[in-house]
Amino acid sequence: MTTLDSSKEIKKNDSEASEHHEDFRMFGLITFLIADGMTFAGFFAAYLTYKAVNPLPDGAIYELELPIPTLNTILLLVSSATFHKAGRALLKNKNSDTQKWLMVTALLGITFLICQLFEYFNLPFGLTDNLFASTFYALTGFHGLHVTLGTLMILIISWQTRPKEGRITNQNMFPLEAVELYWHFVDGIWVILFIILYLL
Amino acid sequence: MTISIDSQDSNNNSLQPKGWLRYFSFSLDHKVIGIQYLVCGFLFYLIGGTLASAIRIELASPMSDFMPRDVYNQVLTLHGTIMIFLWIVPVVNGAFGNYLIPFYVGARDMAFPRLNAVAFWLIPPSGLMLVASYFVEGAAQAGWTAYPPLSITTPQSGQIIWIMSVLLLGGSSIFGGINFIATIIKLRRPGLKLMQLPMYCWAMLGTSLLVVLSTPVLAGTLILLSFDIVAHTGFFNPVLGGNVVVYQHLFWFYSHPAVYIMVLPAFGLVSEILPVHSRKPLFGYTTMVFSIMGIVVLGLVVWAHHMFTSGTPPWMRLFFTIATAFIAVPTGIKFFNWVATLWGGKISINSAMLFSCGFIINFVFGGITGVALAQVPFDIHVHDTYFVVAHFHYIVYGGTVFIIFSSIYHWFPKVTGKLMSEKLGILHFAITFIGFNLCFAPQHWLGLNGMPRRVAEYDPQFQFVNQISSLGALLMAISTIPFLLNIFLSIKNGEDSGDNPWNALTPEWLTSSPPPVENWEGEAPLVEEPYGYGKPISQEN
């Protein structure tokens, strides 16, 4: 093998090659989100099938209170808008504004999770009570896990956007855009979940 | 990717160990990762093969005398899981895909090299977990399908480790799939059109779509199953009001496409090998592409043909029978295209070609039994009998594993710069082909006569046929010896192959063998006619 000789050439060739092709990290992320969406699709399919064919035992409670989840829906939708604001601010090179909007988004995410936990503690059923309860917790829990991860990522990129030293600038917006897309995805899933689980 | 990240990657690359040590490193080179997949997969194949031998030894006599019944169930569970998730899927996708796809699209590496290395390095630890699950108290014994309520009611610690392992392997598979899609769609050399790509790219594109769309559903299902086992929820437990058929639907929504995840890449590989060794262009390139995409679409809507005996309503049976029968159309098109490629060609009878022809013969047989199994009345008769075992192994061993061997013989000179011994190769083919058919052809008869699968004991009237089958399994085990001998002897003192021993036209042969780290010394060649054999303008003259 001529590895030693060719390793010198790599750098030269590599910078040549990378000039040719566009940034396709976003493409990879979208593919990943499609895969992630399929996991939710599987859960939704299971839930709807159960609803259609598996009658619950007598006396099982499956009525859900609407106020908290409605508040949560509003929280997430607003947070999508604030995240968008953060991206716009970065385009204008106002890093501290970006950080401010990201913190607001993270705060909304945390509030969502607190409300979700509050709902969990006040529900009249537990994880193993009946099929509806199990599916409810599995679906909202899996979504909550996504929100938790998203909130953590928002906090990380907010730190990375700090003026002057931060890694994320309007020259290198990909981390912000990636988390933003993920966050919109999680919001979108919540809206579907809200309709299927609470409204149907 | 931005320039800064690319130069980071190459810096990392130059810090990688050289020589054989790089195969044990977190290498970002797609060729190293391909070989890592192949060797790792083959080691698991040897473990899975040993388990298969144990199964056939047990079945040589009607009583469960070689191992107790529960051990038999554990062995067949581990055999199936290892062979599918650690041998076929990683090798036919990961190994050949990683090695060949960047060459075929004219790139220097995969789209996401680090994700690629992560995808590979998930496999050895989860494989070890899977093997380890056999040794804990209560190993998994619900088969590779892990159907509840069996998987919930049998001892559970092994089953949980089994689930964790399969989840990690699924993750690895999804990362690989994302990488292949991005590489094929986005990383093509400028000027290279989609319809000029070698057929294996199309096969991998289709396979990766199936991986990305269906594997997450399996992951979700297994998460729910683990809830049932650990937290005693009742998703799939009828005692707690759950529904086992929902598990079957979700499981087969992945696991039927999984059959195509295992066999579509083999379709692609055989489409690369046949034109080279018969010196003819691939017959019907466009129909090949459309039939692959047809299989991808249809493959997603046929899953319930595995569940005709699960109380499936008549309309569902009708729909899935028809959809399954339709899959025979694109598959048949591909089959006739291969035969037409061979027709009138200047055929060289070498090991790669023999294994590919063996594939065509076995595959058409497995395909015919597949169409038969799609018919509800027939399926109800042979459901869960040895007929299904025979059909499945005709597709996955007679199909995919034959192509894996064929590909190893075909691309060995590419990877090592050495030729393999044809004598040992032909011996390997002869023993494998005879052994395989001796092992699995009689099982059709056993199944038609009602011998159930996954049971250690059977009616004594079946003993003679079972012994023939076990003899075939013995031959298959022996066939590994000339193969391994061939590999080691050829690496050590094989004849020098030169850069392009087969005079092939696909892009991977247009660089040195073995290739340099970033594939090409200069710019990647633009190959507009990867199958331009037998034409006046081609290299041959």
- Give the pLDDT confidence of B314-330 residue by residue, as tens digits: 999 999 999 999 999 99
Contact criterion met (CB < 8 Å) for B115 and A28:
yes
Q: Is B220 on the interface with A (CB under 8 A)?
A: yes
Contact criterion met (CB < 8 Å) for A27 and B182:
yes
- Give the pLDDT confidence of B451-467 residue by residue, as tens digits: 999 999 999 999 999 99
- Give the pLDDT confidence of B6-23 residue by residue, as tens digits: 444 444 455 556 677 788
Chain B residue numbers touching A125 (CB-CB < 8 A): none
Q: Is B423 on the interface with A (CB under 8 A)?
A: no
Which pLDDT score, from 0 to 100, does residue B184 have?
Answer: 95
Q: How far apart are CA A9 and CA A11, in angstroms?
A: 6
Which pLDDT score, from 0 to 100, does residue B155 have?
Answer: 75
Q: Is B534 on the interface with A (CB under 8 A)?
A: no
Which pLDDT score, from 0 to 100, does residue A89 have?
Answer: 92
Flag whether pLDDT at B110 surpasses 70: yes
Q: Is B250 on the interface with A (CB under 8 A)?
A: yes
Flag whether pLDDT at B185 surpasses 80: yes
Contact criterion met (CB < 8 Å) for A31 and B216:
no
Local structure of residue B135 (DSSP, 8 states): T
Share of chain B above pLDDT 90, in %: 82
Share of chain B above pLDDT 70, in %: 95
Contact criterion met (CB < 8 Å) for B2 and A172:
yes
CB B496 within 8 A of CB B418: yes
Q: How far apart are CA B195 and CA B133, in angstroms?
A: 46
Task: Enter the tokens of residue B444.
Answer: 């059709």
Which pLDDT score, from 0 to 100, does residue A63 have?
Answer: 76
Give the mean pLDDT of B176-199: 93
Q: Which residue of A has its CA nearest to B210?
A: A35
Distance from CA of B527 to the nearest CA of A (A): 18
Report the candidate in A17, A8, A1, A19 with the shortest Cα–Cα distance to residue B108: A17
Which pLDDT score, from 0 to 100, does residue B16 have?
Answer: 59
Q: Is B191 on the interface with A (CB under 8 A)?
A: no
Q: What is the mean pLDDT of chain B?
A: 92
Which pLDDT score, from 0 to 100, does residue B523 have?
Answer: 85
Q: Which of B3, B5, B6 should we substitute to test contact with A (largest number of A Cβ atoms within 10 Å)?
A: B6
Contact criterion met (CB < 8 Å) for B240 and A45:
no
Q: What type of residue is B381?
A: H
- The ipTM estimated for the assembled molecules is 0.90
Q: Is A2 on the interface with B (CB under 8 A)?
A: yes
- Helix/strand/coil percent split, chain A, to 5: 80, 0, 20
Task: Enter the tokens of residue B234.
Answer: 């009742």
Give the mean pLDDT of B76-105: 96
Chain B residue numbers touching A31 (CB-CB < 8 A): 177-178, 181-182, 212
Give the mean pLDDT of B523-529: 87
Which pLDDT score, from 0 to 100, does residue A55 have?
Answer: 77
Question: Of B185, B241, B250, which has the smallest distance from its Cβ to A42's Cβ?
Answer: B250
Sign of torsion, CA B100 B105 B110 B116?
negative
Cross-strand bridge partners of residue B418: B496
Residue B189, helix vs strand vs coil: coil
Q: Is A167 on the interface with B (CB under 8 A)?
A: no
* Residue/partner pairs of A75-79 with CB below 8 Å, 24 or more apart: A75/A108, A75/A111, A75/A112, A75/A115, A76/A108, A76/A109, A76/A112, A76/A147, A76/A186, A76/A187, A76/A190, A77/A187, A77/A191, A78/A108, A79/A104, A79/A105, A79/A108, A79/A109, A79/A112, A79/A183, A79/A187
Give the mean pLDDT of B27-47: 95
Which pLDDT score, from 0 to 100, does residue A124 have?
Answer: 86
Q: What type of residue is B463?
A: Q
B204-213, B425-434, B503-512 — which is least confidently predicted?
A: B503-512
pTM assigned to the model? 0.91
Q: How far apart are CA B98 and CA B411, in angstroms?
A: 13
Which pLDDT score, from 0 to 100, does residue B7 have?
Answer: 40
Chain A residue numbers touching B107 (CB-CB < 8 A): 17
- Give the pLDDT confidence of B206-261 residue by residue, as tens digits: 999 999 999 999 999 999 999 999 999 989 998 888 899 999 999 999 999 999 99
Chain B residue numbers touching A4 (CB-CB < 8 A): 18
Number of A to B CB contacts under 8 A, please give it.
154
Give the mean pLDDT of B425-431: 97
Cα angle value B76/B79/B80 (rounded, 5°): 90
Which pLDDT score, from 0 to 100, does residue B9 have?
Answer: 46
Give the mean pLDDT of B423-444: 96
Q: How far apart are CA B180 and CA B431, in angstroms?
A: 35
Question: Of A24, A35, A130, which has the smallest distance from its Cβ to B111's Cβ?
Answer: A24
Question: Of A18, A31, A49, which has the smallest distance from its Cβ to B3's Cβ?
Answer: A18
Q: Which of B518, B520, B526 should we substitute to test contact with A (largest number of A Cβ atoms within 10 Å)?
A: B518
Task: Enter the tokens of residue B450.
Answer: 């009602």
Q: Is A145 on the interface with B (CB under 8 A)?
A: no
Flag whether pLDDT at B1 surpasses 50: no
Contact criterion met (CB < 8 Å) for A50 and B246:
yes
Flag whether pLDDT at B272 surpasses 80: yes
- pLDDT (tens, 9 = 90+) of chain A, 200 residues, equals 333 333 434 444 444 444 455 678 999 999 999 999 999 999 999 999 998 888 777 777 677 888 999 999 999 999 999 999 999 999 998 888 999 999 999 999 999 999 999 999 988 888 888 888 899 999 999 999 999 999 999 999 999 998 888 888 888 889 999 999 999 999 999 999 999 998 88
Q: Is A177 on the interface with B (CB under 8 A)?
A: no
